[in-house]
């Protein structure tokens, strides 16, 4: 244990995170990686939240579990994150910086220190109940883990149904538990935590569709909820990924989705929009078709809210490549066809005719709603809720609550999708960091390891540990036989068995054996290195062994689990796998992770709202920041904004912000500045800038870059813009309204999606629907009798913005949808602009003589062609910067150490920009907060003499790392190399070797396998 000397501060260097979903995980990791201790308090028996229940995610189609497991594993192993499951907060007292939190933890009845997660107790438990996790589609046991990849993987006993607790019998779990982990005496515990900030991320409940019996949920077996459908699609779900309908397990052909179940309904359900359902229905339709090409999906909707980055492209793909049919009509009732189990639904066609259609299966796209205990929960934390029972947050700082020091994030703050949740998770971490920066490092634990032994002169002395893994491996593979075989292999001086090699006591045993037999290479034949390698490496380091002297043979996932009906062959295979592992182990030599110093200074490119907030996010934590702005003034696009739709004054906010930034002692502002060159790697960048009208050259050394180059309003070429003074953009209209002009307009027409969702720019600009409604409401305030017509393709007032759409309609603003193939026609007339369009509802043309025609012009990113080539950053075809991973790393760029935020990433609202700015500051802090960065030792190396400068490696590296140096040969910077090995594989001269995967280290395995065969 090693704690940094406490600086003179009363603030705590730890944070409490309530909740365990992906948002909470991101916050926890960002904070823990920046020097703060994190306590996670989670109500369920495992972390995971909603994301783990999903099958694939949009828009990439990545498997949800595959994406979240690495975060979960990192969290589980993190020295500075304590996870308290089955726990709830009872009270929070104190001040920001110093809170005392009382936590009550329910009894688990299984000792997490002893449990190895083998799962035999669950298998043997006789008591079943419908599984809430599998949405009632199958059963779970009284002793259970929430899902197979649960963390902690310790089972828990559901006291309410356990046979032993109810009538004293059974105890099958205890009988079969080899680790003796069942603890009937567990009483749970109550404890106190002392933290500096509290982050609330408890998520939301899903709407219960059985409240709407006319839709047939709970009545007709082949009507399922969307979350049930996720489980049906999931390979680890009740049907193992085969799309079947629950009623008769037939394969459905015609599947219908009904959108907005439980949402956008102020009469019978919840008035807000749940933000994700349009996208997830599209994803489900496409995924279902991937599983079964015969499926014909139809989605019944009102507006398709594909407002996120590249989401419209995704929906277009669904329509064009997958043939998903989108029908703009809501369903009144789902009727079951007697005898067949099929569903009959009636809907209004585009020409008004009523059509009855037969479907095999219906999926209800249910929305989110606050937990039933939302009010009590808020009381415990002392925060106020709004009328919809979501936390009350200031319009321009969505993670803050009415109680300083208590923050909110994720869907608890408002319905949103995974990328936004991850972003907001980082944002809230950034806010907490800003609050507690002086206490950084005061509560974290740093690992101390004994000095490394020098084994380079020694012959390999390999220890082989063959794991039983309870019965997971041992029930199929003869593990004792495999260990005996291992002893016969070259260089093996010890071979033995463990019941669970990963358990605490096995680690102690391993340490003792390493000493006893002077082992200098370790082979573990057990499960997957992905999850367990770090555990064994830790043990090795504790004994002074280099962690790269380790090899694992997976005789579980790759053997016992897949060959359970062929035990003899499985045992033979296990022996072969061990032989291969031993051969490799003998070739391993120590590798050293380089440490590079970090220049704890940030460079922010762009001085708009995003850039300024990012700069403050870093500067308030005492990091030095250089803010580079190409114009003469700070402010960016926000200079043209007037007010947010909630009514916050943007001008005042901007003035304050500029003042703060200009006066901040840690921020240096360079205006009229142009970046001309950029070199280096994470922690050590060097940027050259020409500043001011005199073009003075400056050289800045810094550790991180945050790109916030922003966007501007599209200048329309269509609809008489520029030719008729009555035609203006929404920004121009807002400016005029603020000046008091345009208030006497009697008839106003607004056309949406100008410059967006077309061939040149296939995406949605996200802010235009709310911007139009904002201006329309403003006009109505000045002139209540004004007639305002909004011509749209989809109204995208997502989340809690839906309230404003309802208010707009209430005030008499009229909305008319149009098809892109049949846009409105605009003609000049002497005293107005004649706008003609089709009223689809009555199927007839309508024309309005407008005093003002407002065009909702989209957002185009600033021209960053030159900048992106200097910084070597990728942009998508529309010119927005491409992040490392759209879902999991939404503010990171592919190049380590570079981050992006604001509209440079994609169109977004001012509040979302501010959020993302704080997120990027938080992400940058995860390494800026360290004085040194430890690089992975797994990097590629070029042997200069063999290099022919053919450039194959330069072209094949996805991270643009290999460069031709002054000597004319390829050189790979270990600091930026990601260790993927592509260059090593591609190099025709075999001039590149990847450490730890050198040719010899791979080939020896093949040779070992084919021993005696070739």
Partner 1 sequence: MDIGYYPGCTLHASSSLYDVQSRRVFNEVGIILKEIEDWNCCGATSAGKVNDFLALAMPARNIGIAEADGFSEIVIPCSACYSRTLVAQKRLEDDPILKSEINTELTKKIQGTIKVSSILEVLLTKVASGELAEKVSQKLKGLKPACYYGCMQTRFPYKVPVPDDVENPQGMETVLKVLGAKPLDWSYKTDCCGASAAVNDEEAALNLMARIMKDAVARGANCLVVTCPMCQLNMDSYQDQICEKQEIKERLPVYFITEMVGVAMGVSVEELQIDRHFVESAELLKELNII
Partner 2 sequence: MTESAREFDSESAHPMVKEVMERSQQNLLACYQCRRCAAGCPVGEETGYITPDRLIRMIVLGDRENALNNQLVWRCVSCYTCGTRCPNDIQTARITETIKKIAKETHLDPLKPKVAHFHDTFVNSGIRWGRLNEMEFMSFYELKNTIKDLKRLKFKSIYDELMAKTKLGLKMARRKRMHMGFQSAKGRSEIKRLYEKAKKKTD
Nearer to partner 1, 246 or 897 (CB): 246
Which residue from 676, 663, 657 is spatially nearest to 607, judged by alpha carbons? 657
Query: Which lies closer to partner 2 via its Cβ, residue 619 or residue 808?
Result: 808
Regarding 123 and contact with partner 1 (CB under 8 A), the answer is no
Name which of partner 2, partner 1, none residue 219 binds, using a CB cut-off of 5 to 8 Å depending on partner kind. Answer: partner 1
Beta carbon of residue 357, minimum distance to partner 1 (angstroms, whole number): 15
Which range in 146-154, 208-216, 592-600, 715-723 contacts partner 1 by CB under 8 A?
A: 208-216
Q: Tell me the C-alpha distance between 430 and 919, whole Å.
A: 6
When the beta carbons of 331 and 886 are compared against partner 1, the nearer one is 331
The Cα 971–Cα 299 span in angstroms is 53
Q: Answer with the entry of partner 1, partner 2, none that 328 interacts with (C-beta below 5 to 8 A by kind).
A: partner 2
Alpha-carbon distance 857 to 854, whole Å? 9
Residues facing 356 on adjacent strands: 346
Check binding of 2 to partner 2 (CB under 8 A).
no
Give SS3 for 376: helix
Q: Does 214 bind partner 2 (CB under 8 A)?
A: yes
Q: Both tokens of residue 204?
A: 């939301």
Of these partners, partner 1, partner 2, none, which one is at the site of residue 339 (CB under 5 to 8 Å by kind)? Answer: partner 1
367 vs 802: CA distance, rounded Å: 13
Q: CB of 338: closest distance to partner 1 in angstroms?
A: 4
Report how far residue 294's alpha carbon sits from residue 287's, in angstroms, rounded to the nearest whole number: 12
Minimum CB separation from partner 1 for residue 213, in Å?
Answer: 4
Contact status: 746 vs partner 2 (CB under 8 A): yes
Q: Which does 65 bind (CB under 5 to 8 A by kind): partner 1, partner 2, none?
A: none
Adjacency order of strands within the sheet including 361-366: 223-225, 361-366, 254-261, 296-300, 325-327
Please tell me what DSSP assigns to residue 106. -
CB of 466 to partner 1, least distance (A): 58
Site string for partner 2, 280-309 (x = CB under 8 A): ----------------------x-------
Q: How far is the CB of 271 from partner 1 (least distance, A)?
A: 17
CB 869 within 8 A of CB 859: no
**Beta carbon of residue 330, minimum distance to partner 2 (angstroms, whole number):** 4
Which residues, 6 or more positions from 145, have their beta carbon under 8 angstroms from its beta carbon? 45, 46, 117, 119, 122, 153, 154, 155, 156
> Of residues 11, 108, 155, 212, which one binds partner 1 by CB under 8 A?
212
> What is the rounded distance in angstroms from the CA atom of residue 313 to the CA atom of residue 93?
48
d(CA 408, CA 16): 12
Residue 347 binds which entry of partner 2, partner 1, none, CB below 5-8 Å type-dependent: partner 2
Residue 267 lies near partner 2 (rule: CB under 8 A): yes
Binding mask 335-364 for partner 1 (x = CB under 8 A): xxxxx----x--------------------
Say which entry of partner 2, partner 1, none residue 338 contacts (CB below 5 to 8 A, set by partner kind).
partner 1
Cα gap 897→705, rounded to integer Å: 6
Choices 261-269, 423-431, 455-463, 665-673; region in contact with partner 2 by CB under 8 A: 261-269
Nearer to partner 1 by Cβ, of 333 and 841: the residue is 333
**Residue 683 in contact with residue 599, Cβ under 8 Å?**
yes
Residue 171: phi, psi to the nearest 5? 65, 30
Report how far residue 609's alpha carbon sits from residue 212's, in angstroms, rounded to the nearest whole number.
Answer: 44
The residue within the footprint of partner 1, chosen from 90, 95, 113, 214 (CB under 8 A), is 214
- 265 or 668: CB nearest partner 2: 265
Nearest to 25 by CA among 431, 433, 440, 428: 428
Judged by CB, which is closer to partner 2: 73, or 806?
A: 806
Residue 316 binding: pick among partner 2, partner 1, none (C-beta 5-8 Å cut-off by kind): none
CA distance 455 to 154: 38
CA gap 33, 426 in Å, rounded = 12
Which one of 805, 880, 899, 918 is in contact with partner 2 (CB under 8 A)?
Answer: 805
* Position 248 contacts partner 1 (CB under 8 A): no
Identify what 61 binds: partner 2, partner 1, none; CB under 5 to 8 Å per kind.
Answer: none
Tokens standing for residue 572: 């033979």
Tell which positions 314-333 bind partner 1, by CB under 8 A. Answer: 333
CA separation for the pair 602, 101 (Å, rounded): 35
Q: Cα–Cα distance between 298 and 754 in angstroms, integer?
A: 28
Contact call for residue 348 and partner 2 (CB under 8 A) = yes
| Distance separating alpha carbons of residues 128 and 272, to the nearest angstrom | 37
Residue 282's nearest CA partner among 313, 252, 314, 253 is 314
Q: Which residues would be at the binding site for partner 2 (CB under 8 A)?
A: 214, 260, 264-269, 302, 328-333, 345-348, 352-354, 746-747, 785, 787, 789, 795, 805-806, 809-812, 814-815, 817, 836, 839, 841-849
Binding site for partner 1 (CB under 8 A): 212-214, 219, 333, 335-339, 344
């Amino acid at each position: 244990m090693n704690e940094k000397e406490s600086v003179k501060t009363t603030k705590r260097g730890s944070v409490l995170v309530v909740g365990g979903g992906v948002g909470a995980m991101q916050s926890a990791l960002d904070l823990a990686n920046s020097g703060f201790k994190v306590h996670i308090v989670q109500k369920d028996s495992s972390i995971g939240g909603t994301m783990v229940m999903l099958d694939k995610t949009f828009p990439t189609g990545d498997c949800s579990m595959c994406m979240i497991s690495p975060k979960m594993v990192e969290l589980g192993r993190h020295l500075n994150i304590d996870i308290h499951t089955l726990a709830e907060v009872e009270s929070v007292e104190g001040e920001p910086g110093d809170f005392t939190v009382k936590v009550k933890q329910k009894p688990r009845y299984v000792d997490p220190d002893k449990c190895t997660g083998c799962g035999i107790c669950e298998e043997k438990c006789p008591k079943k109940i419908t599984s809430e996790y599998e949405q009632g589609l199958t059963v779970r046991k009284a002793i259970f883990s929430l899902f197979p990849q649960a963390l902690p993987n310790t089972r828990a006993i559901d006291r309410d149904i356990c046979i032993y607790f109810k009538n004293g019998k059974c105890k099958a779990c205890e009988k079969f538990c080899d680790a003796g982990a069942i603890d009937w005496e567990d009483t749970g515990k109550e404890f106190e935590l002392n933290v500096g900030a509290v982050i609330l991320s408890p998520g939301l409940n899903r709407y219960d569709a059985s409240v709407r019996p006319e839709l047939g949920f709970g009545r007709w077996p082949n009507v399922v909820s969307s979350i049930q459908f996720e489980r049906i699609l999931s390979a680890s779900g009740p049907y193992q990924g085969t799309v079947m309908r629950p009623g008769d397990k037939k394969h459905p052909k015609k599947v219908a989705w009904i959108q907005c179940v439980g949402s956008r309904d102020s009469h019978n359900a919840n008035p807000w929009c749940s933000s994700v359902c349009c996208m997830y229905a599209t994803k489900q339709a496409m995924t279902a078709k991937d599983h079964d090409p015969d499926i014909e999906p139809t989605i019944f909707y009102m507006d398709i809210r594909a407002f996120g980055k590249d989401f419209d492209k995704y929906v277009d793909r669904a329509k064009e490549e997958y043939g998903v049919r989108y029908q703009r009509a809501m369903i009144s009732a789902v009727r079951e066809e007697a005898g067949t189990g099929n569903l009959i639904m009636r809907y209004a066609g585009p020409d008004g005719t009523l059509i009855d259609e037969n479907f095999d299966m219906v999926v209800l796209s249910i929305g989110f709603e606050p937990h039933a205990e939302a009010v009590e929960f808020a009381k415990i934390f002392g925060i106020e809720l709004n009328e919809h029972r979501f936390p009350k947050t200031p319009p321009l700082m969505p993670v803050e609550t009415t109680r300083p020091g208590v923050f909110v994030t994720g869907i608890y703050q408002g319905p949103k999708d995974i990328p936004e949740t991850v972003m907001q998770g980082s944002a809230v971490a950034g806010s907490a960091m800003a609050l507690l920066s002086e206490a950084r490092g005061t509560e974290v634990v740093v690992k101390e390891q004994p000095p490394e032994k020098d084994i380079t002169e020694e012959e390999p002395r390999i220890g082989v540990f063959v794991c039983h893994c309870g019965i997971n491996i041992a029930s199929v593979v003869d593990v004792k036989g495999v260990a005996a075989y291992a002893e016969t292999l070259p260089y093996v001086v010890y071979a033995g068995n463990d019941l669970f090699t990963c358990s605490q006591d096995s680690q102690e045993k391993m340490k003792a054996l390493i000493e006893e037999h002077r082992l200098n290479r370790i082979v573990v034949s057990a499960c997957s290195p992905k999850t367990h390698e770090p555990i064994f490496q830790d043990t090795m380091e504790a004994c002074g062994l280099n962690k790269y002297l380790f090899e694992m043979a997976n005789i579980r996932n790759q053997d016992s689990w897949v060959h359970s009906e062929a035990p003899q062959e499985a045992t033979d295979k296990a022996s072969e796998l061990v032989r291969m592992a031993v051969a490799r182990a003998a070739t391993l030599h120590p590798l050293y992770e380089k440490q590079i110093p970090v220049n704890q200074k940030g460079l922010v490119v762009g001085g708009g709202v995003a850039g300024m907030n990012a700069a403050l996010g870093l500067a308030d934590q005492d990091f030095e920041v250089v803010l580079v702005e190409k114009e003469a003034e700070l402010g960016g696009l926000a200079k043209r904004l007037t007010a947010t739709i909630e009514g916050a004054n943007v001008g005042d906010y901007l003035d304050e912000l500029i003042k703060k930034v200009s006066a901040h002692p840690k921020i240096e502002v360079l205006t009229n500045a142009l970046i001309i060159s950029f070199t280096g790697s994470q922690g050590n960048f060097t940027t050259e800038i020409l500043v001011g009208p005199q073009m003075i050259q400056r050289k800045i050394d810094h550790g991180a870059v945050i790109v916030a180059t922003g966007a501007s309003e599209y200048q329309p070429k269509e609809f008489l813009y520029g030719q008729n003074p009555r035609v203006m953009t929404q920004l121009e209209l807002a400016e005029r309204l603020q000046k008091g002009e345009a208030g006497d307009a009697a008839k106003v027409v607004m056309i949406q999606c100008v410059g967006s969702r077309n061939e040149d720019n296939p995406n949605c600009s996200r802010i235009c629907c709310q911007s139009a409604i904002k201006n329309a409401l403003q006009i109505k305030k000045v002139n209540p009798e004004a007639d305002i017509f909004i011509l749209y393709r989809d109204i995208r007032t997502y989340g809690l913005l839906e309230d404003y759409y309802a208010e707009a309609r209430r005030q008499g603003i009229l909305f008319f949808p149009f098809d892109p193939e049949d846009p409105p026609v605009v003609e000049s007339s002497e005293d107005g602009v004649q706008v003609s369009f089709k009223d689809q509802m009555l199927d007839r043309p309508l024309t309005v003589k407008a005093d003002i025609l407002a065009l909702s012009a989209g957002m185009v990113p600033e021209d960053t062609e030159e900048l992106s080539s200097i910084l070597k950053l990728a942009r998508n075809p529309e010119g927005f910067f491409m992040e490392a991973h759209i879902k999991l790393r939404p503010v990171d760029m592919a190049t380590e150490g570079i981050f992006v935020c604001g509209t440079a990433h994609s169109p977004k609202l001012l509040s979302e920009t501010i959020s993302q700015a704080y997120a990027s500051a938080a992400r940058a802090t995860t390494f800026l907060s360290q004085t040194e960065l430890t690089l992975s030792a797994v990097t590629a190396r070029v042997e200069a003499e063999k290099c022919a400068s053919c450039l194959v490696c330069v072209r094949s590296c996805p991270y643009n790392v290999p460069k031709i140096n002054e000597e004319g040969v390829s050189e790979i910077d270990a600091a930026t190399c990601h260790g993927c090995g592509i260059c090593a594989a591609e190099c025709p001269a075999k001039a590149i070797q990847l450490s730890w995967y050198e040719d010899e280290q791979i080939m020896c395995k093949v040779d070992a396998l084919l021993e005696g065969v070739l």
